[in-house]
Structure 1
């Protein structure tokens, strides 16, 4: 398994608007294509105005297939522009579990 960690720094003051829009209009579309949401978070201490979400995949091939299907979905294309308007910086990491990680 691999875990993709995506960190979005949103415009100051827009965390709640981002999360509200995501919950109402985006999550259902995204979870239709991405197999396992590991978690969805916002920061309270440290760098502020950040949204961190993590997605689990069996491997890089599954990630590529799922993300291609997501981007091909017209519903995703319709919400993507509004999401991008709220985001200032996007970062992505791929995390590979250690042998003793509870997530394998």
Structure 2
């Protein structure tokens, strides 16, 4: 099973293009063991953010890669542009296909939920039942849950062809009571939704 590491990098409002250029050059000779899957930039939500997604066959490689970045004097080749950075490891829901390179968006909605204590298992159960019916409306890129950090968290990522498609499909699934997953909302403590667009060099775009 492929695991994932998600890294959010915040850069100055006027530094995005320079940051992407530096990131692209760094990734071409990346010392990381993880497979580079995506580089997206925030369009709606918290702005000036870059999301990097790496996939791992060996979960022990995730903390090793983190150490590589943390101890670097120039993280990701753009250390002078990084305002803040957060990273965490995730395990995908059983039975989901792995994230692979290709054209899937170009609009990606990334939804992050913090869960109440004890809420992870019932949330995973609810999602296991709901993913099939919901995926009949639009493709789910991935659903994953954090394996570190201070509180249980889940992330689900949905690709769409446009903003209009996203709004139309979400409205339809809610109206037809396909979404949200039955039994999941009571376990949610906080929710965040962001829209990302792919960088020109992102494998998943």
Paired position in structure 2 for 1:30: 134
Say if 2:108 and 2:159, in contact at 8 Å, map to a contact too: yes
Q: After superposing the two structures, state which structure 1 stretch, 68-77 or 90-99, moved more.
A: 68-77
Partner of 2:170, secondary structure, is: helix
Match among 67, 70, 73 for residue 170 of structure 2: 67
Structure 2 Cα separation of the partners of residues 77 and 98 of structure 1: 30
Higher relative contact order (CA 8 A, sep 6+): 1
- Paired residues, what number? 100
> Which blocks of at least 5 consecutive residues in structure 2 are unaligned?
1-105
Higher share of residues assigned helix? 1
Structure 1 Cα separation of the partners of residues 113 and 181 of structure 2: 19
Structure 1 Cα separation of the partners of residues 160 and 143 of structure 2: 16
Task: Give the direction of change, closer, same or farther, for the CA distance of 1:75–1:94 in structure 2 (3 Å limit).
Answer: closer
Paired position in structure 1 for 2:192: 91
Aligned structure 1 segments of 4 or more residues deviating by more than 6 angstroms:
none
Task: Give the direction of change, closer, same or farther, for the CA distance of 1:95–1:75 in structure 2 (3 Å limit).
Answer: closer
Task: Give the direction of change, closer, same or farther, for the CA distance of 1:56–1:77 in structure 2 (3 Å limit).
Answer: closer
Q: Deviations over 1:80-100 (max 9, x none)?
A: xx2211111011011110111
> Which blocks of at least 5 consecutive residues in structure 1 are unaligned?
none
The two structures have a TM-score, normalised by structure 2, of 0.45
Quote the RMSD (CA, aligned, Å).
1.7
Structure 1 Cα separation of the partners of residues 133 and 156 of structure 2: 15
Structure 2 Cα separation of the partners of residues 77 and 53 of structure 1: 12
Q: Highest CA radius of gyration, 1 or 2? A: 2
Match among 4, 8, 11 for residue 116 of structure 2: 11
Structure 2 Cα separation of the partners of residues 3 and 27 of structure 1: 17
Paired position in structure 1 for 2:204: 103
Q: Deviations over 1:53-99 (max 9, x none)?
A: 101001101101111111111343782xx221111101101111011
Paired position in structure 1 for 2:126: 21
Correspondence 1:45 to 2:152? no
